[in-house]
Structure 1
Amino acid sequence: MSDPYETTEQHLERILRRALNSFDLPDSTVERLGTALAHSSSLHSSHHSPALHRETYRHTYLLADGTPLALWELVHCGPRQAAAPRGPGHGAEPGPLQHELYDDEADAHVAAARLTGGFCDGPVFGHDGPQADLEIIDALMAAPPAPLPRMYAPDNSADHARRVLRRAENRNGPGEETALLLRAAFAHHITQIFGRQCQVDGRDAGFTLYEHAFLLLDGSETSLWEVEHTATPDGRHMCEVYGDEEAARGAMESRTRIC
C-alpha cells in the first residue's frame, strides 16, 4: 500500500481521490490532515472468500503538532458478473476494487461487517490503541521516507539567499564566506524537514526546520538550514540560520530536550 518515493501529501491525495465516501469525512479531520508530515500504512484485517475479497488498512499520519491521526480504509470487491457461463473449474473473476475511508475504527468495523455479515473483524496481528500509535510515530521519526530528488527553481535565488541570511537572529550562523558563495546561486529548492509543537518552560512552543538548497553556477550545491521557533521568553517568532543540519538540530535541542 505504501510507496517509499511517495510524499505524504501525494499519499493523502491518492487515497482521498479513490475513496467513494471521502466527502463524508469531517472537515476538521481533513484540515488536520493538511498538516501531516509523515505517514505509515499497514494491513489491519482481511477476509477472502469466493463471494468477497475485503481488506482493511490503517493509515497513520504524524501531524505538525506531534499527534497521530489514523484513517481506516476498507478495500473490497465481489465476483464480477460473467457475460457467459464459464467452464468447469473456473471460478468467477473478482470485480473492480472499491475503497471507503473512515476516521473512526468502529465505523470501519461496521462497514466491514455490512460486507461480511458479521462482526468478527479483528486485527491480523498485534494490538491497536494508544501504545500502537506511539510505536508507529517512533518508527516514522526513526525511519523517514527516502527523499525525493530536488526540483530546483530559478527564481532570484541569490536574492532569496540574502533574505534568509538577513533575517537570521543568531550570531553563530554562516559568515561572509557563505554569503559570497551564495551570490552565485541561480536556482533553489525549499524543503520542510521537521515540525513539532512542544512545551518549553510550561509554555507551548513551535519548531520548524527548513532546508534551503541552492544550485550554484558551477553546478555545485550548498544549503542553508533555517530554524523557526517561538521558544522565546515572550513567545515571539524567532528565526535562526545555520550552515549544516547538525548545528540546526543542536540549536533546537538546546532550546528544549523534547524536540
Structure 2
Amino acid sequence: MNDPQDHPDPYETTEAHVERLLGRALNSFDLPDPTVERLATALAHSSALHSSHHSASLHRTTHRHTYLLADGSTLSLWELVHDAGRDGVERHELYTEEAEARLAASRLPSGPPTRWSAEYADGRVLDEDDDFELLSALLARPIPAQPRMYVPDNSADHARRVLRRAENADRPGEETARRLRLAFAHHITQAFGRHCPVAGGRDAGFTLYEHQFLLLDGSEVSLWEVEHTATPDGRHMCEVYEDEDTARGAMESRARVR
C-alpha cells in the first residue's frame, strides 16, 4: 500500500478510500459516469507509487489505485499529485488511463519562465520589450509533421470530455459533438507551449494541443485545445476550437491583454 497521504489508514474501507479519492481530486467531475458507477461496486483496493519527480520548483508523483469490483473485474485509476499551483498547495488529479496522467504531468511547469530572446534573419534581436512580436512569430510557426498514432481508447468519451471542459463561448457546437460520437480512435499532439507576460505584470502559461479523432466512416476530425492561465485570478482555463488558426489567434489575443 502506498497512498499519497502522510499516514494512510491501514483499516480504511474501500468505500471510504473511493470517497476520499474522488473528494480530493480537482477533476473528479471529468471522470466518465460509467467509471464512477463501477467504482461504487468496489470490494477491495490497492494503491502503489508509479513514478516520482522532485526538484526545487516542482514535486510530482503518480499513483495507481486498483479496485476489485463485485463482478470480478478490476478497475484502475491514475492519480497525479503535484504542487505546481501558484500557492504551492498540493493538488490531486484523477485519470482513467496512464497515458492521460503522463500527458497531464507533462503539462506541469518545470520551473520559472525564462527571459525571452530571439534573433531575426536581418540581425535584429528581440527581448522582453518585444515579447508580443516574438509571441506572434512563435504562434505563426508551422507544426512539424508527425505520424498520427491513433489509439482506440474510448475516444468518443474523450471527445465529450474535451468539449465539456471548454469555457469559451465560441467552442464547437452540437454538430461537431454529434460527429465525434462516432470516434473510435484518437491521438493527442502538443503543438505549442510558452510563458509570456500578461495583465498585471505577471506571467501566464499557454499550451496548445491537437486532439485528432478517427471516425467510424474513415474521416478525421480535430479539436484544438488552448490551456492557459491568462485569467484575472491566474486560474487554469481551457478553450476549444475547431481549427488551428482560430486557436492560435485566441492565444495571441489573450497574451496581448494587459
Quickly name the TM-score band, shorter chain normalised.
0.3 to 0.5
- Of structures 1 and 2, the one scoring higher in RCO (CA 8 A, sep 6+) is 1
Specify the structure having the higher radius of gyration (Cα).
Answer: 1
User: Structure 1 length as normaliser, TM-score?
Assistant: 0.46
